[in-house]
Amino acid sequence: MKHTDERPRPAPALPTREPVRLVDRHGRRVGHSSFTAPDPARLVELHRAMLIGRRFNQQAGTLARQGRLAVYPSSTGQEAAQVGGVLALSDQDWLFPTYRDSVALVAHGVDPVRTLTLFRGDWHCGYDPHRYRCAPQCTPLATNASHAVGLTYAARRKGRDVAALAMMGDGATSEGDAHEAYNFAAVWNTPVVFLVQNNHWAISVPLHRQTAAPTLAHKAVGYGMKGYHVDGNDAAAVYAVVSHALAEARAGGGPAIVEAVTYRVDPHTNADAPQRYRDPAEVEHWKERDPLIRSERLIRDEGLLGDAEETERALAAFGAEADRIADTVRERLADGDELDPRSLFTDVYATVPPLLEQEHALLADELREV
């Protein structure tokens, strides 16, 4: 019988304290020894997806304030981390998002309206996970991470080249499930990249009360994984690092943690009161580091969309497209699936057990009385 290879594995290098940055907040390229920015077409694509994401965040926030959504956890300010991570995935790869990753879902190709089913209160998950290769948005923190490990393990067993991006926030890295998932992934050598969006706040708890680790990426080393510390507001850097980590993981080089340092500009949700726990000056500091500002400047300064006139036209077209998607979300929000109370009973088990048949009959009686 084959036993585990007991040869000591080389310890991964510690992540850099300075995050990987390829484009600074002024839109200027920064040289890096290990990573290069993606090609111009990809840089433009990242910008376009971030614009769509930003408008989506704004629209969903408005709908929540109007009461048309039960709640919306905004990711304004985090678009580079979400879009940069998702666009690095290949067609067959899976995404394991959390409740704050609607923008990632939209970039991944999920119907934008269906990403809001959960927040609209119609159902828990509005899309078919198999169709989009995207797990339901996960609310219990870090519990989605081990699902990514299991799924990629199963895919490998079936001879398919499938990697996964498991998303979590800074707070989630404190959960036991994060630890268990990191460890399983490393021991089984499954192609999972854990994308940690460090947005500095777990609702009202700041990072320094969350962890004493030098960076969240340092956590990887204890599991025998690589950890990458990235400027999460630099879409080019997130994309380059996640692409590299996914390629390494696919090739058997092991899973990785990518910490994208970013900031939650908006409240935790529309029900939150951030003025009670954080300094508005901190928010302003991060707004100057907005991921969209730098990507637009880079595109303009380097003429990635052509001359000045062509650039204006193209950027205006991107803006119009983002507006159109947001408008569509607003208009289509009402045409959700028919909410038939019968559906409460149909998908609890593979077949409807007698007890649920009885309860369905009771509910039908109540509805008739109404």
Closer by beta carbon to another protein, 175 or else 302? 175
Q: Helix, strand, or coil here: 193? A: strand
Long-range contacts for 219-222 (Cβ within 8 Å, ≥24 apart)?
Answer: 219/173, 219/182, 219/257, 220/12, 220/15, 220/182, 220/256, 220/257, 221/11, 221/12, 221/14, 221/15
Long-range contacts for 122-128 (Cβ within 8 Å, ≥24 apart)?
Answer: 122/336, 122/337, 122/339, 123/337, 123/343, 126/336, 126/337
Shortest CB 124 distance to another protein, Å: 4
Shortest CB 69 distance to another protein, Å: 18
Shortest CB 253 distance to another protein, Å: 20
Shortest CB 157 distance to another protein, Å: 7
Shortest CB 149 distance to another protein, Å: 5
Q: Give me the helix-helix angle, 79-86 and 235-250, nearest 10°.
A: 30
Closer by beta carbon to another protein, 355 or else 364? 355
Shortest CB 14 distance to another protein, Å: 23
Contact 309, 96 (CB under 8 A): no
Taking the CB of residue 40, how many other CB atoms lie within 10 A of it? 14
Binding site for another protein (CB under 8 A): 1-2, 123-125, 128-131, 135-136, 140, 143, 145-155, 157-158, 162, 176-177, 179-181, 183-184, 187-188, 343, 346-350, 353-356
Closer by beta carbon to another protein, 280 or else 354? 354
Shortest CB 181 distance to another protein, Å: 6
CA dist., res. 250 & res. 244, Å (int): 10
Task: Report the half-sphere exposure of 2 (CA within 13 A, side-chain side).
Answer: 2
Shortest CB 283 distance to another protein, Å: 32
Shortest CB 191 distance to another protein, Å: 12
Rounded to 5, what percent of the chain is helix, strand, coil?
50, 10, 40
Closer by beta carbon to another protein, 1 or else 281? 1
Q: Across the chain, how many H-helices and E-strands are there?
A: 14, 7
Closer by beta carbon to another protein, 157 or else 208? 157
Closer by beta carbon to another protein, 153 or else 263? 153
Closer by beta carbon to another protein, 158 or else 208? 158
Closer by beta carbon to another protein, 57 or else 143? 143
Both tokens of 257, joined, read 């943690």
**Residue indicated by tokens 């704050």:** 100
Closer by beta carbon to another protein, 122 or else 321? 122
β-bridge mates for residue 192, sequence order: 164
Long-range contacts for 58-67 (Cβ within 8 Å, ≥24 apart)?
Answer: 58/326, 59/326, 59/327, 59/329, 59/330, 60/102, 60/116, 60/119, 60/329, 61/266, 61/270, 63/116, 63/329, 63/330, 63/333, 64/119, 64/269, 64/270, 65/270
Closer by beta carbon to another protein, 30 or else 356? 356
How do beta strands 205-206 and 201-202 pair? antiparallel
Q: Helix, strand, or coil here: 25? A: coil
Shortest CB 242 distance to another protein, Å: 20
